Structure 1
Amino acid sequence: MTNLEDWHERLRITSRWIEVDGTPTVPVTGEVHFSRVPRDRWEETLRLLVSSGLTSVSTYVFWGHHEPVKGEVSFEGDLDVAAFLDVADRVGIDVILRIGPWCHGEVRNGGHPDWVVAEHGDRARTDDAGYLSSVAGWYARIAEQVARFCGPTGRIVGIQLENELYDQPDHIATLKRLARAAGMSAPLWTATGWGGALLPPHEVFPLYSGYADGFWAGQGSRWDDSFRDHFRFSHQWDDPGVGGDFREDGLEVVVREVDPEFPPSTCELGGGMATAYHRRPIARGADIAAIANVKIGNGSAWQGFYMYAGGINPRDHAQESHATGYPNDLPRFDYGFQAAFGATGRPGPSLAPLREHNAFLASFGPWLADTFSTLPADAPVAVHDLDTLRWAVRGDGRSGVVFVNTHQPHEPLHPVPDVQFRLALDDGEIIVPDRPIDVPTGVIARWPVRLEVADVRIEWATASLVAVAAGDLPTLVLRAHDGIIPRIALAAGATGVVDGTAVDLDVPIDLVPGSLLEVDGALRVLVMDEDAIERLWFVDGDLLSSDAPLWREGEDLVARSASAPSLERWTGLTFEPVALQTASSPGITAVAVEQRREGSPPRTRYGSFMGRSSAPDDAQIAEVAALFRLDLPGDAEELMAGDRVELEIEWEGDVAQLRADDELIADKFWDGLSWCVDITRIDPDAELTLHVAPISVESAVDLDATAAARVAAAGQLCAVRRVRRVVTARWTAAG
């Protein structure tokens, strides 16, 4: 793979790392489903991925989206995978194509069209001759679209076969043969390795997962140990929890060790979480950041996030549901996934921590790739141990990074007093820091030890590595942690100046967020607090501070916002304002909401399947829902190309449907978060109505604790608190 088969001029894999352009690196991939994102947003989405630090994008090709009726295949409009690949090539981001034919991705039949289910039944996902004939035909149609992006210089650098298939290694090998025969190739052929999967040796690169929580857990279940496990450092990569809702009851998962032929890598670290009707977990930014940091500390060679940008199903009833035999009811349209970029493209809670994580890998990945992960003698801690400090080291014997995690959701880890690390390096033992510190709850850290940056050796620091920005002198950005003084020790003989004042670097010194340390006239060290770090973007070597998402197009910086963004560029000594302009008239206006019908008392359950509550159907919603009419401001004619119009809806209830002239265009299961709907394409003269089914303390659904407390306090919720029309525009700045 990548050597004798499907050689690629830029990418190569070894048993230790992935090499790009001859350099070991730690790539970062984010999942975006092109068929769930409007075509006119593809380029902006991919540019945002690049500006937030991704090196590749992964995307499913859902068979059921393209050929719902046998023989009627479409790659038109939002389904044009070749056009999506053209955009990726223009933007300069590599692609991992996940071709199934069974994908999951919370789509109907896992991606199999209804006619495939009807024709092949239980013989699907096997080497049955009839099923393989159908697959071969489908692969041929994909190849017609994507083959020109394969090959030694192509943007397709990976192809995933099937998904979450545990006991059919020969079938996966057959699928690879069929794909290659159809004309597809990639230097990396991958398959999901979690759940004790048996994979064909040497044929596919096993990739793993890690989610903070999951909608797929059973009704009334507690926070499962399979989720807890991702918040501790270990060298166990298999995950028995993901996809567990599809396995037979009582089937014990055999947790398998990593194949030593391949470096441990991931394709599905939770960048958010979908919402099922019966279970509605909240994915918070710190949860995503903690798992990403733990996986790197564990030795991950490739970070893949699912989802990185959410979307909307391309047609009604294309979702996973009880009606099609799935254990979970998903919304009919919404697939925002609480991702780094939501269904409308709006930044989500995980974007800022993932940008920081990706910036760290961009700056330190080439060094990090050639390191080993080491766990302390008393680790790994048990998943229910809330007291023992969770930490690991990645190093090369001469230097290293100490990874620390004291964050997890639902059951907070306890603060740990009087912490020092005793580390054995090639040239002797080092104790970090020089005096014990208390590590509070909620710390997600990457602390350097004897690490060289721009020929300056940092003995250690109690502030986290973020990235290195270019300039007349390189600037190392460190993140200070709430409750921990950022303290730094430099190599003997170093000279330094802090904010213009000479300091003695023969002893460790304390810094404060915002301070700038210059060392030996070779490196600047900028310490920033967590709020300031959340604004940082690293775009083509520039260090930028922005309150709006931004990307580069040619020589221009582009941001999207409903008001003038606050943008500053790091000069090497300070942040200076950057002026942006737009010819549009963006803004936020209130939407008048008229309640036309009160809601009725909801049922405890509208139905059930496999012990899980079923979502109400249209008739059941009509029976209990309150009805609200939305009166939009009449200024749609002022929109310009590139403008985006959203409805920002603050509501409470069980299920909401947004209808245009009584046609369902969007839906949502309430989880306590606000709801954004892209209405850019909607007829501005259409009558918009919101239909909200109430939720009560008797409703048999599992909510996040914060949302559950709101229901408990009120007894029953059914309201639209506020609706705003948000018009965002493109703002540009030179260079």
Structure 2
Amino acid sequence: MKYICYSILLLFFNVAIAGAQNLKRIDASKASSKVVSGQLKMGNPGPDGKKLEVNNHYLTLNGKPIIPVMGEVHYSRIPTEQWEDVLLKMKAGGVNIIASYALWNHHEEIEGQFDWSGNKNIREFAKLCAKHNLYFYPRIGPWCHAEVRNGGTPDWILTKKNIKDRSNDPVYQQYAEEWYKQVGLQLQGLMYKDGGPIIGVQLENEYRKGKGGEAHILWLKETAQKYGFDTPLYTVTGWQNGSVPPLEVIPLWAAYPDAPWADNLRRNEAKTDFLFKKYRDTDAVGDNVQKDREAYIDYDAYPYFTCEIGVGNMNTDHRRLQIGSRDGLGLIMAKMASGSNLPGYYMFAGGSNPLGQLTTLEENREESGYYNTNPVISYDFQAAINESGRLNGPYHEVKKLHYFLHEFGDRLAPMVPVFPEDNADFQYVVRSSGESAFVFGMNYFRHHDLEALKGLQFEVKLGGGTVIFPSKTVTISDGAIFMWPMNFALGNISLNYATAQPLCHVGNKWIFIEDADASPEFCLKAEGLSSVTASTGKVKEKDGTYVVSDLKPGVDCEINMKEADGSEQKIIVLSKAEALNSWLLDLENGEKAFFVSAADLYANQGEVFAFDTNPNISVLKLNAEGDENFEKYEYQLPEKKLQLEVERVEPLADAVFLKTSAVDELDSKNSLRHRFFLKEFSLNNPSEVKRAKLLIYAETDCKVQLNNRWVNQAVVPGQLTVLDVTGYTQKGENKLMLDFPFEAGDKAFAAELQVEYFNSNRVEFTTNQSWLMRDSYIYPSFLTGFGGFAAPEQVGRRKISGTEQLANQYYVFRLPENYADGLNNVYLQIDYTGDKGKLYFNQLLVADNFYSGDLWEIGLNRLHLPLDGQPLKLEISPLPANARVYFDDAEAKEAATNVLVKSVNLFPEYRVEIQ
């Protein structure tokens, strides 16, 4: 009967074939691949009824194929108080495996001193994952990269003379084993076999030594097992000659939209990672591309899983990128079309680097000899969830795929890709089981404008015959990315094909989404159906099928299917915009609920919350049964208006002018005398001084001494002078002395000593009453003492000349009292031009940004500081005119040479429970 049905379909569409300009033919009828179980040497799969097992193609849960979604967030880069918020947002976006690096130097910056407190408490983070029914996947290094200092290896390892890191050197093994031991102790009892959330562990990262590195990877696996990591999965990164001891670990793969690590200033127009292809590896990730490597991995032995698909990229000092909302979707759909059965994202949620005690912890070319310099704090990554905590454009794009995988991954997982012989003008692949299939198509490459493909139809041969669809040719526009089902079961109803993506199934409602510009078309097998009607478009019954076409997608677009036994099923076809605003949330006891809302949603322990910067929130909730498809909830929350006043801060704005002229008239008795000023200050930060400078405006000649050494740099009278005194400072107590020869009249000076440490802490000492004064012919000296100093004489403020030499500009604004009361979050948005921005609270660096042309946004609840009524100081530096920096946005690069703060605004985020 099946063959007869397909033959009729072929006859029905023979007219359409003749008119097709682009008929894409593919034979997917014999698609098959041998599934081999038990050959991969993994750990305990967990208890009966929940066994998580892996074969050479996919994962199974209690024997059923699954395609989970893995997303990365770094617990040590998120304040503890915001962990739950970001986990709930990830879960609402369809992520159910939380991956995180455990970064060695975040926990043992100083040898022998482990820190597992606060946002470094990996155990509490893992338990929070378990609370929300999320799996946890730690990536424990020892080397991780993650754009952290030394890739996570502590400085004290690298400064040892008799050690070879990242090897089976016995000295390194001793330290690496202790690291694994400490991580294992923290996660004890949380393995999947114990009822915990930990389903796997990644060993090392980007270990590109091929066969030569297998022994070290195997030693790391054995060491991890020794300290309790008995898990269903052991993985490594496989790209670029990654070391993979055969069948001991599973290689995972990567792709990024761009290359912020690239050692050039060219626009990256590579298509490689957007291609539908059999080859899993990439030449586009990392800074050590090996073109001549030997590909020794037997792909057929391992499932095609990914762990580092970038929906975004970090910005570096030399490459400023703007990643589009659909770049990540294009990458992950290319992998899924090509046979991948685990989408894994890096990063799914951005964060902020903690500050070390001794140094900052970002990757830095000048300090650690790595490829890139990244912001000290910001690790936004243009991720699906921004560093600020706000949901970013890619989040809404990729969750459409995630919902499908959770609902129908058991159907897709066993399907294998069948590649056409020629897809030069248009990328397409059929993933097929032989009897049913999904057609993947993509007309998208980052940085490329593509021609629309006109007159498209597919001719796909499956086990039951050949289907040509849609019934009329369609045009696929630039940017289209789609996945269309064939022979897809809607309960007891057979959907021969649809030119729309299935999203989910709730009750008797099947949600599909428009995923191409072509009007969706559905072809249903008539057998078992008594009638098919549609709220829009046309329904044509012919040759044993119902063809529903010319639909206008939207929440009111429905196809009603009545079965012969009287039961009903409905298809609801959402528009592209509604697809982005769709939410499939897990409630308690395995229940699920579907919503459509422009607000952002998540569920917490069965309660559903909406949050938005718009106080007027509207939500549609799908009724699982019944004639009415959606129930509407509307909320008008009290609007909270928050105002800021931003002031430009002039140099020496906080400094008091002190009188330097000691007499009314110079004569032979006083002309050899001097007025000395002494400032004693302490530098007791655990970090070393990175830079120190003295800003001074003096109206007369002046010499500067710091810690009994005269500074060999001239102070120019009547001009703002900046002295580099970095080499003159010392840890502990310091003495700064200024020498002014006697002058008559009303002369004065003001000064500010700025000291910045390698851990980014900063202190400033401005002239005030603590800068003591002494008039004397004899120079004060450490040999004769510094006695006789008394309070200085303050005078009125002077107009300062020469400030134009200071390239950086400073601004200050004060946050309102109780600004966050009653709100979910408050976003501070800074619209500026320049090279880099830094934000300080007192002397603490709390946020920073590399300018790319995009707005800089900070989630104030991520700072976790007492900011009510407190001032924040903004520092913006310009891009040098001859800077060797690449910008995606050429106009932004030109603008960056001039510092301009266009606006600084606060945006409240409201939250309401949907009930």
Same fold (TM over 0.5): yes
CA offset digits 1:61-89 (Å, max 9, x no partner): 00000000001101001100000011011
Q: Secondary structure at the match of 1:109?
A: helix
Distance in structure 1 (CA, Å) of the matches to 2:408 and 2:884: 47
Equivalent position to 2:606, from 550, 555, 569: 555
Aligned to 1:336: 380
The 1:294/1:170 distance shift into structure 2, 3 A limit, reads same
Deviation for aligned residue 1:356 = 0.5
Q: From the superposition, tell whether residues 500 and 340 of structure 1 become closer, same or farther in structure 2 (CA, over 3 Å).
A: closer
Question: What secondary structure is seen at the aligned counterpart in 2 of 1:136?
Answer: helix
Q: Using the alignment, how far apart are the partners of 2:378 and 2:483 within structure 1?
A: 36
In structure 1, give the amino acid aligned to 2:576.
E
What's the counterpart of residue 401 of structure 1? Answer: 438
User: Residue 30 of structure 1 is aligned with which of 56, 71, 75?
Assistant: 71
User: Which residue pairs with 1:157 in the alignment?
Assistant: 199
Q: Deviations over 1:144-199 (max 9, x none)?
A: 11021114132100100000001111101000111111222211000000012231
Q: How many angstroms apart in 1 are the aligned matches of 2:296 and 2:495? A: 39
Deviation at 1:366, TM superposition (A): 0.5
Which residue pairs with 2:619 in the alignment?
Answer: 567
1:708 corresponds, among 880, 890, 911, to: 890
Equivalent AA in structure 1 for residue 351 of structure 2? G
Q: Cα–Cα, structure 1 residues 643 and 586, in superposed 2: closer, same or farther, change >3 Å?
A: farther
Partner Cα distance (1:193, 1:283) in 2? 25
**Distance in 2 of aligned mates of 1:456 and 1:720:** 60
Checking the alignment, whether the CA contact within 8 Å between 2:416 and 2:433 is kept in structure 1 is yes
Gap change, CA 1:393 and 1:118, over 3 Å in 2: same
In structure 2, distance between residues paired with 1:468 and 1:241: 34
The TM-score, its normalising length taken from structure 1, stands at 0.90
Are residues 100 and 715 of structure 1, via their aligned partners in 2, closer, same or farther at CA, if it must alter by over 3 Å? closer
Matched residue type, 1:555: G
CA distance in 2, matches of 1:673, 1:293: 26
Question: In 2 relative to 1, CA 128–426 (structure 1 residues): closer, same or farther, beyond 3 Å?
Answer: same
Query: Quick check: 2:163–2:169 contact (8 Å CA) kept in 1?
Result: no
Q: TM-score under structure 2 normalisation?
A: 0.73
CA contact (8 A) 2:43 2:233 kept: no
Q: Map 1:234-383 onto structure 2 (within 5 A).
A: 234-243=277-286, 245-246=287-288, 252-255=292-295, 258-315=298-355, 317-322=360-365, 323-379=367-423, 381=424
1:561-613 Cα shifts (integer Å, max 9, x gaps): 3424322212254332225698xx77452322222349xxxxxxxxxxxxxxx
Q: State whether residues 60 and 100 of structure 1, in contact with CA within 8 Å, keep that contact through their aligned partners in structure 2.
A: yes
1:63 aligns with 104
1:462 maps onto 2:499 in alignment: yes
Q: Residues of 1 paired with 2:511 and 2:481: CA distance?
A: 18
Larger Rg: 2
Could you tell me how far apart the structure 2 residues matched to 1:369 and 1:240 are? 26
2:662 is equivalent to residue 478 of structure 1: no
Secondary structure in structure 2 of the residue aligned to 1:578: strand
Kept in 1: contact 2:851–2:896 (CA 8 A): no
Aligned counterpart in structure 2 of residue 634 of structure 1, from 784, 808, 817: 817
How far does residue 341 in structure 1 lie from its aligned partner after superposition? Answer: 0.7
Partner residue of 2:480? Answer: 443
Alignment check: 8 A CA contact 1:195 1:241 kept: no
Q: Assess if the C-alpha contact under 8 Å between 1:196 and 1:255 holds in 2.
A: yes
Q: Aligned in 2, Cα 1:427/1:677: closer, same or farther, shift over 3 Å?
A: same
Counterpart check, 1:116 vs 2:157:
yes
The 5-angstrom pairing of residues 202-217 of structure 1 reads 202-217=247-262
Give 1:488's aligned residue: 522
Q: SS where residue 624 of structure 1 aligns?
A: coil
Provide the C-alpha distance between the structure 2 equivalents of 1:698 and 1:165, rounded to a whole number of angstroms: 37
The amino acid across from 2:478 in the alignment is: T
Amino acid at match of 1:334: S
Match of 1:577 in 2: 632
Aligned counterpart, 2:593: 542
Deviations 1:435-465 (A, max 9, x none): 3222111100011122222222222222233
Matching residue of 1:608: none
> Structure 2 vs 1, CA of residues 622 and 399 (structure 1 numbering), >3 Å: closer, same or farther?
farther
Aligned 8 A contact 1:460 1:489 in 2: yes
Aligned residues: 694
Letter in 1 for 2:516: H
What is the aligned counterpart of 1:174 among 219, 240, 243?
A: 219
CA distance in 1, matches of 2:843, 2:43: 54
The corresponding residue for 2:466 is: 429
Matched, 1:518 2:586: no
Q: 1:687 to 1:5 in 2, by over 3 A?
A: closer
The CA deviation at 1:118 is: 1.3
Gaps of 5+ in 1: 382-387, 599-616
TM-superposed deviation, 1:279:
0.5
Q: Offset at 1:59?
A: 0.4
- Offset of 1:478 from its aligned partner? 2.4
CA distance in structure 1 between the partners assigned to 2:611 and 2:642 by the alignment = 17
Cα–Cα, structure 1 residues 255 and 212, in superposed 2: closer, same or farther, change >3 Å? farther
C-alpha deviation, 1:272, in angstroms: 1.2
Aligned to 1:679: 860
1:193 is aligned, of 238, 242, 253, to: 238
Corresponding residue for 1:604?
none
The answer (yes or no) to whether the contact 1:649–1:720 under 8 Å persists in 2 is yes
1:591 and 2:629 are equivalent in the alignment: no
Q: What secondary structure, in the 3-state scheme, does the structure 2 residue paired with 1:565 have?
A: strand
The alpha carbon displacement at 1:635 in A equals 3.0
2:121 corresponding residue in structure 1: 80
Cα 1:3/1:193, change in 2 over 3 Å: closer
Sort the Cα spacing of 1:339 and 1:242 in 2 relative to 1 into closer, same or farther, 3 A.
Answer: same
Q: Specify the code of the residue in structure 2 equivalent to 1:485.
A: S
Q: Which whole-Å deviations, capped at 9, do the CAs of 1:645-695 have from their partners, x for residues lacking one?
A: 331111111100111124321110011111122333233244211111123
* 1:595 to 1:174, Cα distance in 2 relative to 1, 3 A: same
Worse overlay, 174-183 or 715-724:
715-724
| Paired position in structure 1 for 2:737 | none
Cα distance between partner residues in 1 of 2:576 and 2:269: 30
1:98 is matched with 139
Instruction: State the alpha-carbon separation in 2 of the partners of residues 701 and 252 from structure 1.
Output: 29
Distance (whole Å) between structure 2 residues aligned to residue 686 and residue 71 of structure 1: 38
Distance in 2 between residues matched to 1:281 and 1:690, nearest whole Å: 23
CA RMSD of aligned residues (A): 2.5
Q: 1:715 to 1:107 in 2, by over 3 A?
A: closer
1:688 aligned residue (872, 881, 885): 872
Give 1:691's aligned amino acid: E
**Structure 1 residue aligned with 2:846:** 665
Structure 2 equivalent of residue 411 of structure 1: 448
Per-residue CA shift, 1:402-454, capped at 9, x if unaligned?
10000111122322222111211112111122232221111000111222222
Preserved CA contact (<8 Å) 1:596 1:628 = yes
SS of 1:12's equivalent in the other structure is strand
**Structure-2 residue corresponding to 1:232:** 275
Counterpart Cα distance in 2 of 1:590 and 1:488? 52
Task: Judge conservation of contact 2:252–2:304 (CA < 8 Å) in 1.
Answer: yes
Closer, same or farther: CA 671–205 of 1 in aligned 2, 3 Å: same
Separation (CA, whole Å) in 1 of partners of 2:481 and 2:178: 48
| 2:448 is equivalent to residue 392 of structure 1 | no
> Which among 70, 85, 88 is matched to residue 44 of structure 1?
85
Contact 1:580 1:732 in 2 (8 A): no
Deviation at 1:17, TM superposition (A): 1.0
State the alpha-carbon separation in 2 of the partners of residues 360 and 697 from structure 1.
49
**Alpha-carbon distance, 1:246 to partner:** 4.0
Alpha-carbon separation, structure 1, partners of 2:108 and 2:640: 40
Q: Distance in 2 between matches of 1:305 and 1:715?
A: 31
Structure 2 SS opposite 1:68: coil
Identity of aligned pairs, percent?
28
| Cα gap change, 1:500 to 1:219, in 2 (>3 Å) | closer
Alignment partners' CA distance in 1, 2:896 and 2:538: 63
Match of 1:7 in 2: 45
8 A contact 2:314–2:382 mirrored in 1:
yes
Aligned-residue offset at 1:260:
1.6
Q: What is the deviation of 1:209? A: 0.5
